[in-house]
Structure 1
Amino acid sequence: MTAEPSRSAGRMRASDADREAVVEQLREAAADGRIDLDELDTRLGQALMAKTRGELAPLIDDLGPVVLGSGEPLTLQGGIHGAERTGRWKVPPRIRAIGGLGGVRLDFTQTECRLREIEVEVDAQLGSVRIVVPVGWRADTDALNPAFGGLKDKTSGDRLPGTPELRLTGSCGAGGVLIRGR
């Protein structure tokens, strides 16, 4: 039996977050005058139709660092004492929040986030996972298992244009998950 060849990064399927990151970089390039509006329109169309990361990369290669391939997610583990991410920080496309005993707190209110979608994998365990979002952000919790701790979403649920949507997956465990505004 022979080993199956590994996939190259260029053949990996592009996610919505990958496409959106490229679209944002193209818009910034046009705002800076590095590409004109006709070229922006052409590249945006190609970015939105791209199926793989390999199709996206050439669209931004001449504009600076490639923003594709988010790599490993930001992982916060509550452990005994808890963990938090607050203040000014760069929001990655994927986050893992593992509550442990002490819980996890994610505060997005001072972040500058240009992503349209952020995947948040939750494993609340015994500690809670608390998420604080700015006005207009929306959380999609349809794929989140409420388990014993349950889910409380105290946001309006209304998403303002141009703001991110958090897509929560995983389990609320015994500690639960709370999503609230500032």
Structure 2
Amino acid sequence: MTSQPPELPPRPAPPGKLRASHDDRDAVVEQLRNAAAEGRIDLDELGSRVELALKSRTHGELAALTDDLPKPDSVSAASLPPLVLKGGIYGVSRGPERWEVPGRVIAHGGVGGVKIDFTRVECRLPEIAVEAYGETSGVTVVIPDSWATDAGGMDPGFGGLKNETTPDRLPGTPLIRLTGTGGAGGVVIRHPNRRERRKLNSNPTES
């Protein structure tokens, strides 16, 4: 009886032929949105590339959509530990100078209050989770005009929630997902006021 030759293990698929996951497609879509926000591709091209990305089945098909774009940063801000701000007695603020934004910010207003100002940051995250607890003196969050807010998970508490932002979000900019409770001091999220705009305009490159 003739013995059968041993079966060879299946060859691994070339990298470009590997099947893409939902996360792979989402990452490419986010890279395309960032490229549009930076002016590297126009909105029409963004729409066509996003459509192709969502239909892509392999890594090779996805790679072809971003071959002419800079590679995203290897270290993601999403991996940074949460930023915790506590107002304490004297209050605390972060910004408007440039600062590194993590994927999650937790603010406790305390007696002195907390202010978080995102107007000078450069952030590639699709979302930033902000947990705001107004406590006694409240929390104020200031975001650029191009950013938008989802405050549906916020409990206004006794002090209330004032959402003075517009829904006009530009592609490639973060969404602030606001949760927490207003407490006694309340929580305010808004775009820059007149005084802040004057300062931004007079020192556009301030670090």
TM-score strictly above 0.5: yes
TM-score of the two chains, using structure 1 as the length reference: 0.65
Q: 1:164 aligns with which of 174, 191, 197?
A: 174
2:136 equivalent to 1:116: no
Q: Which residue of 1 aligns with 2:85?
A: 76
Partner of 2:98: 88
Asked if 1 retains the 8 angstrom alpha-carbon contact of 2:80 and 2:102, the reply is no
Superposition TM-score, scaled by structure 2 size: 0.58
The answer (yes or no) to whether the contact 1:20–1:116 under 8 Å persists in 2 is no
Q: Distance in 2 between matches of 1:118 and 1:98?
A: 17
Counterparts of 1:130 and 1:44 in 2: how far apart (Å)? 43
1:40/1:165 CA distance change after superposition, 3 Å: farther
**Cα–Cα, structure 1 residues 65 and 99, in superposed 2: closer, same or farther, change >3 Å?**
same
Segments ≥4 residues shifted beyond 4 Å: 19-24, 38-41, 63-66
Q: 1:73 & 1:171 partners in 2: Cα distance?
A: 18
Count of residue pairs brought into register by the alignment: 140
Q: Which consecutive unaligned segments of at least 5 residues does structure 2 have?
A: 1-22, 41-57, 66-71, 193-207
Closer, same or farther: CA 20–88 of 1 in aligned 2, 3 Å: farther
Maintained 8 Å contact 1:99/1:125: yes
Higher strand share: 1
Conservation of the 8 A alpha-carbon contact between 2:30 and 2:126: no
- Structure 1 unmatched ranges of 5 or more: 1-15, 32-37, 46-62
Alpha-carbon distance in 1 for matches of 2:28, 2:140: 26
Measured after TM superposition, the shift of residue 163 of structure 1 is 1.5
Question: Which protein is bigger by CA-based radius of gyration?
Answer: 2
Q: Kindly tell me: are residues 83 and 40 of structure 1, through their superposed partners in 2, closer, same or farther at Cα, counting changes over 3 Å?
A: farther
CA distance in 1, matches of 2:110, 2:149: 22
The answer as to whether partners of 1:84 and 1:106 remain within 8 angstroms in 2 is: yes
